[in-house]
Amino acid sequence: MVRRWPAGLTAFAHISLLLCILWLSMYPGCAARRRNTDSTDTLVNLNGFMLSTDAPDINDVSPMCLYELQKLQNETAELVPVLDSFGKPASGILAGNLAWLGHFDQCMAVESFRHCLVGMGANLSTLLGVSTVLPIQWGVCAPEVCSEEDVRNSLELLLVMLDVPWLTIKNLVSSAVSCTEKPNTNFDIGFILTCVAISTLVALTIVGSVVDYCLKSSSQAGSSNPSGEANGNFSASGGQGSSRQRHSKASNLYEKLSVDYEDENEMNSEDKSSSPNNPQTEKTPLLSSGIPPRSTTVLSVDVKHETQPNVLVRVLLCFAMSRNLPKLLNTKQAEGSISCLNGIRVISISWVILGHTLIFILQAQTSENIVSAIGRWLDNFAFQAIANAFLGVDTFFFLSGMLLAYHTLKKMKETGGKIPWLWYYIHRYIRLTPTLALLIVVLTFLLPNLNQGPVWFRLDRTIGFCKSYWWSDLLYINNFVQEGQKDCVSWGWYLANDMQFFIISPLFIIPLFWFPVLGMIALAVACAASFITTSVLVYQNDFLPGFFLSIAGAFAGGSGTGLSSNLDFQKMVYVKPYCRIPPYLVGIAMGHFICEIESRSRRIKLSPVFAAAGWAIAGGLGMAVVYGLYDINRGASTPTMATSIAYNSFSTFTWAIALCWVVFACHYGYGGFINDFLSWSFWVPLSRLTYSTYLFHPVVIYVYSFAQAVPFHWSMINQVYMFASFLFLAHVLALLVTLTLEFPVGNLEKMLRGALTRERSGQRSK
């Protein structure tokens, strides 16, 4: 009986034989022996590839590239490091070790050579009987004169010569070959201007703090020396009085400037629940927005000309860290505020970062065991919390709708239904956009120059799209302007959705104020329309249930479920407002409910049995959404179309319903230790960083994951360490952005609004 090799071993033998041929062909002795065999052939060595001039389409390789490759055969000093820089197959291919990156730094150190990453696809249908194409990444060291097209053409010729039809050239991102250029010491104008802009923000922060310190010192000097006798040089006729007057003016000026700007979350000064220390009055969980607060600071106060603060001084004080940092770190919460929202907000942004730690590192494709790791994790029940971390974004949608409805309706009750709708939108845009614009500038001009590596080129996708599609992010329509996922800030789809929800929110809030029943009907109809739309899209495109399963299926390159596994789910469902609006609508309904309870001064009393039942139902709903796909994710059961439609259409709505109970129970005294934890004052400062943390945390993940020069081993402990590091660094970066840009912009807006208020008041008084 003849014993046959398994097909898998045959595949590895092909790969090993291929690498041996490439290795041996590099040496001049081998080349000489081949030339003696056929003197009519001109042997060309392309990074270890032996090509002959009679191969098909050899003319597709440029003459300069051919010349450099021929010359390399006689230069042993360069030959050895070039050969040693090649990526080579390692153990663990079945576990997903498909990134043969080579030695990037060593290749780049060789003069006139550069590192290129080649995308290859191993079709296992003929080798293992599995309809899967393994995406292999092969690092090669090529002469700089060889273009990416030269490298690709030579590789294709090699595969034809070696007769390996199961191995083909495959696109990595936009091309099959991506080469890294030598570092450029001459930075472009965009990089220089970005550095100047960031330096200017830092300088304004420092100068503003110095000005604040000087004003404070002058005020303290005036308070400690009211008689003006410290100098001892005043004349009897008026020196002492003049000194007292100067000190009084200095003290008065600082007191006026020392009146804290309203916190970014303040609605109005008369409402205690809207005090400057109450972060729950913001209109969106990531950043305050919505109806602008009435100015109650010194900026709105008429003062005499001699004590009116200088405009430049007031502008500089808007940037003063000595003022913004205490405001950020203030943990006081007003009585009656929904204090549990602080903890919910911080936990939600941490959950989002946890999920992005997995998803964004998947994009780098530098793990040596991604297949086996994901297989083990999907079998882990606890891992479902990571796989469904996208629900953290739906938590923000719910909070945004709830807070917007609550405070807008409350304001309408105070003003008889009058709301400055134009400023309603202007205020929102001003508060959100500057920080987003800074992120776009960083992605476009700063990030490309931070590092290099074999897979760093993948960031070019984001960077290139930023140069072409930056306007769509600043207009908050990037979730619709996507030609093949061409989006500058890919995670900015949340901001686009939230802004779009904000724009149409009066369609629900106004009816809720004047005709509550009609408003609730409008909310119900909008939810039903969203359910139907999502169901139709899922049915027509055979989408898998849940975001993670679709992304993982697309990455694995196969399905085996009868349903498609592709990134169209993200483009057609995940980022579209008509599919994501249900949690926002539930939040609006919840905000209206709380506002009505407070306006009628009702006291909520629940029996212990009812409260326990509420927690049990809410917990059951939340667990069903997070862990309901466990058997499907681990392959124990096959998802049906009914399952896909039900989960994709109703999961986020169900999650929002569960959140309604959490907020209700915690706010009205039925939260117990859960409310104590969520209302912990520790969360208050961190909750003020959520907007900048959300925007900039992918930058932290990108810099780490795309800078990997060698494949890394993915394990749960590594995931924990990476998540903890990303979480900490993201908040540090968010702290800097908040203190240098987000808070100052809010202060400048209030200063401008105060000036406009004074001008209008002056015109009315004439």
pLDDT at 94: 78
The model's pLDDT over 635-679, given as tens digits with 9 standing for 90+, comes to 888 889 999 999 999 999 999 999 999 999 999 999 999 999 999
More confident: 183 or 683: 683
pLDDT at 474: 94
Strands 44-46 and 99-100 turn out to be: unpaired
Q: How confident is residue 361, by pLDDT bands cut at 50, 70 and 90?
A: confident
pLDDT at 743: 96
- In our burial notation (b when 16+ CB lie closer than 10 A, e otherwise), range 489-505 reads bbbbbbbbbbbbbbeeb
The model's pLDDT over 709-746, given as tens digits with 9 standing for 90+, comes to 888 888 889 989 999 999 999 999 999 999 999 999 99
With tokens 């997070």, the residue in question is 626
- The pair phi, psi for residue 45, each rounded to 5°, is -105, 110
- In whole angstroms, what is the distance from residue 308 CA to residue 338 CA? 38
Strands 133-143 and 99-100 turn out to be: parallel
Among the candidates 161, 179, 197, a domain finishes at 179
- The pair phi, psi for residue 584, each rounded to 5°, is -65, -40
Amino acid letter, 567: L
Q: What angle do CA 380, 386, 387 make, to 5 degrees?
A: 80
- In whole angstroms, what is the distance from residue 678 CA to residue 698 CA? 26
- In whole angstroms, what is the distance from residue 461 CA to residue 488 CA? 8
Among the candidates 144, 159, 179, a domain finishes at 179
Among the candidates 179, 208, 227, a domain finishes at 179
pLDDT at 746: 93
- In whole angstroms, what is the distance from residue 265 CA to residue 281 CA? 5
- In whole angstroms, what is the distance from residue 284 CA to residue 494 CA? 12
- 67 has pLDDT over 60: yes
Handedness of CA 318, 320, 325, 330 (dihedral sign): negative
Q: Got the DSSP string for 200-232?
A: HHHHHHHHHHHHHHHHHHHHHHHHH-TT--SS-
Amino acid letter, 310: N
Q: How confident is residue 348, by pLDDT bands cut at 50, 70 and 90?
A: very high
Strands 49-51 and 113-123 turn out to be: unpaired
- In whole angstroms, what is the distance from residue 325 CA to residue 328 CA? 5
Question: If DSSP codes are grouped into helix, strand and coil, which group holds residue 544?
Answer: coil
- In whole angstroms, what is the distance from residue 564 CA to residue 541 CA? 7
Q: How confident is residue 226, by pLDDT bands cut at 50, 70 and 90?
A: low
Q: Which range among 115-129, 274-288, 427-441 shows the weakest confidence by mean pLDDT? A: 274-288
Is residue 612 situated within a structural domain?
Answer: yes
Q: How confident is residue 264, by pLDDT bands cut at 50, 70 and 90?
A: very low
Is residue 476 situated within a structural domain?
Answer: yes
User: What are the distances in angstroms from CA 322 to CA 211, 230, 265, 326?
Assistant: 10, 29, 19, 7
- 151 has pLDDT over 50: yes
Question: If DSSP codes are grouped into helix, strand and coil, which group holds residue 50?
Answer: strand
User: What are the distances in angstroms from CA 143 to CA 61, 68, 146?
Assistant: 13, 7, 6
- 267 has pLDDT over 50: no
pTM for the model: 0.83
Is 239 buried (19+), middle (13-18) or exposed (0-12) by CB count in 10 A? Answer: middle
More confident: 677 or 33: 677
Q: Which range among 122-126, 296-300, 396-400, 419-423 shows the weakest confidence by mean pLDDT? A: 296-300
Q: Which range among 40-49, 415-424, 442-451, 546-555 shows the weakest confidence by mean pLDDT? A: 40-49
- In whole angstroms, what is the distance from residue 524 CA to residue 554 CA? 34
DSSP state of 379: T
Helices 239-258 and 189-224, axial angle in degrees (round to 10): 130
How far the first Cα of the chain sits from its last, in Å, is 110
Domain span at residue 25?
A: 7-179
Q: Report, as an integer, the average pLDDT of 313-338.
A: 90
Is residue 228 situated within a structural domain?
Answer: no
Q: Report, as an integer, the average pLDDT of 328-355.
A: 92
Is residue 74 situated within a structural domain?
Answer: yes
The model's pLDDT over 528-583, given as tens digits with 9 standing for 90+, comes to 999 999 999 999 988 888 887 766 655 544 433 434 445 688 889 999 999 999 99
Give the rounded distance of the alpha carbon of 602 from its chain centre.
41
Is residue 103 situated within a structural domain?
Answer: yes
pLDDT at 35: 39
- The pair phi, psi for residue 44, each rounded to 5°, is -125, 130
pLDDT at 228: 46
DSSP state of 117: E
- 240 has pLDDT over 70: no
Is residue 763 situated within a structural domain?
Answer: no
pLDDT at 458: 82
Q: Which range among 365-369, 520-524, 716-720 shows the weakest confidence by mean pLDDT? A: 365-369
Q: If we measure between CA atoms, which residue out of 406, 393, 344 comes closest to residue 652?
A: 393
Is 758 buried (19+), middle (13-18) or exposed (0-12) by CB count in 10 A? Answer: middle
Is residue 51 situated within a structural domain?
Answer: yes
How many domains is the chain built from? 2
| Inter-residue contact 480 to 497 (CB < 8 Å) | no
Q: 51 has which bridge partners?
A: 44
pLDDT at 286: 64
- 292 has pLDDT over 90: no
Q: How confident is residue 73, by pLDDT bands cut at 50, 70 and 90?
A: confident
Residue 517: both structure tokens together: 């029943």
pLDDT at 42: 33
- 139 has pLDDT over 80: yes
Amino acid letter, 68: E
pLDDT at 128: 62
- 98 has pLDDT over 70: yes
Q: Report, as an integer, the average pLDDT of 261-266.
A: 40
| Inter-residue contact 740 to 694 (CB < 8 Å) | no
Collect all residues with Cβ–Cβ distance below 8 Å to 490 and sequence separation of at least 6.
Answer: 462, 698
- 279 has pLDDT over 50: no
Q: Report, as an integer, the average pLDDT of 451-472.
A: 82
Share of residues in the chain with pLDDT > 90 (%): 43
User: What are the distances in angstroms from CA 80 to CA 86, 147, 550?
Assistant: 10, 22, 44
Collect all residues with Cβ–Cβ distance below 8 Å to 88 and sequence separation of at least 6.
Answer: 19, 100, 102
Is residue 244 situated within a structural domain?
Answer: no
